[in-house]
Structure 1
Amino acid sequence: MLKSFSLRTFCFCFVVQVALFDTLKAPLLSKVQVDELASKFSDLAKTSSGWRYNLLTANEVEALIDFSVTVYHLANDYLTVRGTSSWRSLVCG
């Protein structure tokens, strides 16, 4: 019984690890595509803040845009490695 359980656990772990490495083989987005999606994400961040966005100074607007693009790149890298490929269509349409 213990051997059977150990074997099943080992096989499950092996399958999970192989699936993670398969996602790394997927073609990556080009720099232009990532920048375009980051720009859309930045626009989404600006429009979602509503009337409060109009109260920001020029420096605060620039900081918000830069932060949005940086967060998008970080999220893109993380979710690409994790294998969550459909999230881009949910965020950027």
Structure 2
Amino acid sequence: MLTSIASAALVSAVASVTTTDGTTSMTTAMGLPEYGVLAVIALVTLLSAKLMLSASTRWNSTIKCSLDMNIIPLLISFAAIVIYKIITII
């Protein structure tokens, strides 16, 4: 899921065609916001799981490391989504 979000964020299709009338440009929007809801839901779920598990007796460094490896990329994706939304509003 993360690789599809990252690849969609990096893809911005820009085409330019030169005709006899002049140059016609066509730009499509980046694909980042399409999966933004899924990334936010996953982030909230993982943060909730980390909060609940940290209060339990089963909490250990392996669980912490495993959750952090999933949470950190989702936080970066969330920041990218927020920045993209702000830029599109401006």
Q: TM-score, normalised by structure 2?
A: 0.32
1 or 2, which has the higher helix percentage?
1
1 or 2, which has the higher strand percentage?
2
Q: TM-score, normalised by structure 1?
A: 0.31
